[in-house]
């Protein structure tokens, strides 16, 4: 079973789908005594102001800890979203910089795991080429960086009829490889970032290497989010029979860019279990029962029915 609750900021307001405060109190008490670990999937509105962004994310992380979360998921661009290529590059840091240092301290202080879903990491040849990686950083409850995945599929898309024009490769280096799923308190987590969601080969590869949970921290545009966000997340969950946790950016970052929102939690059957909506920052708190992964895979053994790789490459060239 996976239970959810959505909280907006420190005021702890509940989604209107929960009709009564008495019910909310029972739910909170039930979750705090849960047999299964809790994950918090966050939604934020990052701007070019790094200090304000850290303050907002810290508040959500502390809220999640207070309500019993073992692991907190922050979206792509949690550190900032720049208003130009020049600003984006100027604000970037290395993994040894102040931003990641503050989050490692926060994880250690609160004794919980963090998924930092899209950090602007300066490339190894920064002084020579002034390019960055879009890096997904996992920090454990001791404040150690235990995994770094660098986004491998870059968002170079022109949709003039939708008002979408982004060329991530102009300043971002594609990651060289996938990374192995990470054992965490909520289960084995496979790492992706945003546009990676559109490539099912990535999710299948992570599932084959033991992933029980997939995570796609994102900053989807409003146009592509409205058309594709939920259906893609549900598809990735269904085909891999994994939980999918997708932190998201929401709202207006600056005069040139807005994001779709709808941070989601999806179960291995493809059911949407939590949605933070499209209006404001907040979080979805979910109870992760890995028994649901095992039972779904046992009852519908898709992976056992999969043919070998050679079969799927057997079509003649045209």
What CATH number is given to the structural domain containing 151? 3.60.110.10
39 strand-pairing partners: 71, 286
The whole-number average pLDDT for the span 250-267 is 95
pLDDT over 50 at 12, yes or no: no
Split into its structural domains, the chain has a count of: 1
Q: Who wins on pLDDT, 182 or 32?
A: 182
Alpha carbons 317 and 265: distance in angstroms, whole number: 40
In a domain, 312, yes or no: no
162 annotated active-site: no
Closest among 136, 168, 164 to 153, alpha carbons compared: 168
pLDDT at 168: 86
282-295 pLDDT, tens per residue?
999 999 999 999 99
Catalytic annotation, pick one of 6, 57, 194, 242? 194
Residue 181 and residue 208: Cα distance in Å, rounded? 10
Question: CA–CA distance from 115 to each of 59, 159, 160, 214, 254 (Å)?
Answer: 15, 30, 33, 12, 25
Q: Is 111 among the domain residues?
A: yes
Burial string for 81-118 (b: 16+ CB within 10 Å, else e) reads bbeeeeebbebbbebeeebbeebbebbeebebbbbbbb
Burial group, residue 312, by CB count within 10 angstroms (0-12, 13-18, 19+): exposed
| Mean pLDDT over the full length of the chain | 89
Instruction: Please give the average per-residue pLDDT across 55-70, as a whole number.
Output: 97
Q: Residue 314 falls within a domain, yes or no? A: no
Q: Please tell me the predicted confidence (pLDDT) of residue 8.
A: 44
Residue 92 scores a pLDDT above 80: yes
Do residues 183 and 147 touch, judged by C-beta distance below 8 A?
no
Q: Phi-psi category of 141—alpha, beta or left, where left has phi over 0 and alpha has psi -120 to 50?
A: alpha
Give, for 60, the enclosing helix (H) or strand (E).
Answer: helix 50-66
Residue 307 lies in a domain: no
Residue 2 has a pLDDT of 42
Please tell me the predicted confidence (pLDDT) of residue 167. Answer: 79
Nearest of 261, 250, 216, 221 to residue 236 by alpha carbon: 216
Is there a domain that residue 177 lies in?
yes
Report the distance separating Cα 207 and Cα 241, nearest Å.
8
pLDDT at residue 116 is higher than 60: yes
The residue annotated as part of the active site, out of 63, 76, 212, 287, is 76
pLDDT in the model for residue 23: 28
140 lies in a domain? yes
The pLDDT value recorded for residue 33 is 59
Who has greater pLDDT, 161 or 213?
213
Q: Is residue 89 part of a domain?
A: yes
Q: Which domain holds residue 57?
A: 4-297
Annotation marks residue 194 as catalytic: yes
HEC secondary structure over 208-235:
HCCCCEEECCECCCHHHHHHHHHHHHHH
In this structure, the chain runs to a length of 318
| In a domain? residue 208 | yes
């Amino acid at each position: 079973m996976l239970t959810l609750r959505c909280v907006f900021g420190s005021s702890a307001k509940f989604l209107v789908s929960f009709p009564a405060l008495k019910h909310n109190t029972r739910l909170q008490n039930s979750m705090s005594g849960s047999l299964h670990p809790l994950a918090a999937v966050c939604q934020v509105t990052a701007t070019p102001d790094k200090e304000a962004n850290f303050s907002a994310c810290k508040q959500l992380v502390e809220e999640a800890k207070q309500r019993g979360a073992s692991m907190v998921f922050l979206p792509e661009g949690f550190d900032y979203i720049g208003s130009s290529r020049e600003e984006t590059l100027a604000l970037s840091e290395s993994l040894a910089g102040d931003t990641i240092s503050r989050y490692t301290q926060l994880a250690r202080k609160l004794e919980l795991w963090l998924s930092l879903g899209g950090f602007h990491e300066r490339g190894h040849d920064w002084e020579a080429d002034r390019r960055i990686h879009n890096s997904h950083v996992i920090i454990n409850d001791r404040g150690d960086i235990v995994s770094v995945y660098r986004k491998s599929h870059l968002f170079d898309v022109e949709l003039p009829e939708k008002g979408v024009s982004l060329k991530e490769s102009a300043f971002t280096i594609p990651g060289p490889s996938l990374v192995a799923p990470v054992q965490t308190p909520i289960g084995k987590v496979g790492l992706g970032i945003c546009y990676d969601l559109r490539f099912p080969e990535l999710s299948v590869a992570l599932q084959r290497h033991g992933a029980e949970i997939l995570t796609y921290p994102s900053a989807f545009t409003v146009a592509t989010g409205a058309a594709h966000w939920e259906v893609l997340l549900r598809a990735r969950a269904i085909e891999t029979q994994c939980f999918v946790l997708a932190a998201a950016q929401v709202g207006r970052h600056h005069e040139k860019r807005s994001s779709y929102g709808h941070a989601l939690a999806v179960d291995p059957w493809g059911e949407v279990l939590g949605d933070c909506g499209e209006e404001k920052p907040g979080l979805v708190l979910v109870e992760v029962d890995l028994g649901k992964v095992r039972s779904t895979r046992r009852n519908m053994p898709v992976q056992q029915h999969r043919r070998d790789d050679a079969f799927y490459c057997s079509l003649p060239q045209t």
